[in-house]
């Protein structure tokens, strides 16, 4: 009798211990998953007050899950969009949550290397960290994080059926692994060391993520807007207009959508022009200055090059007001001014702005588009 009681108690102890050590799974908890989805939707709509109230509930439900610090990091990212990676205080706050997410994920993976949720959130956290280091000019730190992101992405590509959230990272890899060497042939020999991608599959995976992802739906739509613009597909226009309509309070997503529409010379469209004017009323000086730049680009579309130049030069004069976030505007300001001075036959200023544009991330691409549009 005593032996039976002892065995029963031991079994219950081991069972309770095993249960306590089993990490909570988000995708097995519909209530928590729905709240996580609501929180992300609040971020996309810039409704941070509601997001905070939902985070309180989420923390009670998933206190030790890696998704909790990841959501807190994403709140800092979206609330400060466009994110200023040179703002040490904001980056430090975001890194605090990112590192917590990584620590929890690593602990779970050390106990179960097949823990898909931990792998996923580690991937998101490492991606945010790699991006931050890259923009801050911390090259070696960015490279180290990028290596981890690559390995986690490859691992996640085998999990897309079991955890479809991995379609986002898999789609980006599949598309850009093939697109990048096509766009920049000089890197083709180096990229042969990386497994081949599949552009069509990548697009399908991103479309799935746009429609179904909990943590990356708006990001997937952003990527697709730009991807479709590479081939001048009208799908890009449709997605950009949908983004503006869907997230009408998110000035960052509106701004990015307007940049996409500028590829189609649509800034002079009466409805689109209203969105430019809306940004001009922003309390954030980045977006009010962005509106001025977009207005200059609109006049370029209308071939009023004198007015376009005037507005773009005024924008350039004020660009230091937005500190390091000026890097988001400089490629367009410099490229458009280069094109205008080229049309005017002013070789000296044309070369000056050509050099300045080439030193930005997307300047060469924008200059090539403007040149092609004049042919």
Question: pLDDT tens for residues 109-165?
Answer: 999 999 999 999 999 999 999 999 998 989 999 999 999 999 999 999 999 999 999
Coil, helix or strand for 160? coil
Judge if the upstream peptide bond of residue 82 is cis by omega within 30 degrees of 0. yes
Q: What is the pLDDT of residue 2?
A: 39
Higher pLDDT, 199 or 180: 199
Question: pLDDT tens for residues 191-225?
Answer: 878 899 999 999 999 999 999 999 999 999 999 99
Phi, psi of 249 (to 5 degrees): -100, -10
Residue 26 predicted with pLDDT over 80: yes
Q: What is the pLDDT of residue 45?
A: 98
Higher pLDDT, 8 or 243: 243
Q: What is the pLDDT of residue 275?
A: 96
Q: Residue 175 corresponds to which tokens in the numbers above?
A: 């598309």
Mean pLDDT of 52-71: 98
Mean pLDDT of 31-56: 98
Coil, helix or strand for 269? coil
Residue 293 predicted with pLDDT over 70: yes
Question: pLDDT tens for residues 318-371?
Answer: 999 998 899 999 999 999 999 999 999 999 999 999 999 999 989 999 999 999
Residue 3 predicted with pLDDT over 50: no
Q: What is the pLDDT of residue 304?
A: 98
pLDDT bucket at 5, cuts 50 / 70 / 90 = very low
Q: What is the pLDDT of residue 368?
A: 95
Kindly report the number of other CB atoms within 10 A of residue 372's CB atom.
Answer: 8
Q: Residue 312 corresponds to which tokens in the numbers above?
A: 């773009």
pLDDT bucket at 22, cuts 50 / 70 / 90 = low
Kindly report the number of other CB atoms within 10 A of residue 148's CB atom.
Answer: 17
Cα 151 from Cα 119, distance rounded (Å): 10
Cβ burial of 293 (10 Å; 0-12, 13-18, 19+) is: buried
Cα 97 from Cα 90, distance rounded (Å): 11
Residue 8 predicted with pLDDT over 60: no
Mean pLDDT of 172-186: 90
Residue with tokens 């990015």: 256
Higher pLDDT, 173 or 184: 173
Kindly list the domain boundaries of the chain, sorted by start residue: 27-149, 266-375
Cα 118 from Cα 120, distance rounded (Å): 5
pLDDT bucket at 312, cuts 50 / 70 / 90 = very high
Cβ-based neighbours of 362, under 8 Å, separated by 6 or more: 331
Residue 9 predicted with pLDDT over 60: no
Residue 108 predicted with pLDDT over 60: yes
């Amino acid at each position: 009798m005593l032996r039976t009681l002892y065995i029963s108690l031991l079994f219950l102890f081991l069972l309770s211990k095993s249960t306590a050590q089993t990490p909570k799974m988000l995708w097995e908890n519909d209530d928590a998953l729905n709240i996580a989805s609501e929180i992300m939707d609040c971020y996309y709509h810039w409704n941070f007050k509601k997001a905070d109230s939902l985070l309180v509930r989420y923390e009670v439900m998933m206190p030790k899950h890696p998704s909790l610090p990841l959501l807190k990091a994403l709140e800092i990212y979206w609330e400060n969009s466009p994110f200023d990676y040179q703002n040490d205080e904001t980056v430090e706050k975001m890194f605090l949550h990112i590192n917590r997410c990584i620590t929890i994920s690593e602990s779970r993976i050390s106990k179960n290397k097949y823990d898909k949720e931990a792998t996923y959130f580690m991937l998101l956290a490492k991606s945010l960290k790699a991006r931050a280091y890259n923009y801050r000019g911390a090259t070696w730190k960015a490279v180290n994080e990028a290596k981890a992101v690559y390995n986690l992405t490859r691992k996640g590509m085998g999990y897309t059926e079991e955890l479809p959230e991995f379609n986002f990272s898999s789609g980006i890899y599949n598309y850009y692994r093939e697109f990048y060497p096509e766009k920049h042939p000089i890197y083709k020999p180096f990229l042969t060391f990386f497994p081949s991608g599949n552009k069509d599959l990548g697009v399908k995976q991103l479309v799935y993520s746009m429609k179904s992802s909990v943590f990356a739906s708006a990001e997937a739509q952003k990527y697709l807007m730009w991807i479709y613009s590479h081939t001048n597909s009208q799908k890009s226009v449709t997605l950009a207009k949908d983004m503006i309509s869907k997230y009408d309070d998110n000035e960052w997503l509106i701004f990015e959508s307007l940049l996409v529409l500028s590829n189609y010379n649509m800034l002079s469209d009466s409805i689109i022009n209203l969105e430019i004017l809306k940004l001009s009323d922003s309390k954030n000086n980045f977006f009010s200055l962005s509106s001025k730049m977009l207005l200059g680009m609109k006049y370029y579309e209308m071939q009023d090059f004198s007015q376009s130049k005037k507005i773009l030069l005024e924008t350039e004069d004020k660009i230091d007001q937005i500190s390091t976030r000026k890097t988001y505007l400089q490629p367009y300001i410099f490229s458009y001014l280069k094109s205008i001075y080229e049309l005017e036959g002013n070789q000296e200023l044309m070369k000056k702005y050509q050099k300045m544009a080439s030193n930005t991330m997307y300047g060469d691409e924008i200059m090539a588009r403007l040149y092609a549009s004049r042919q």
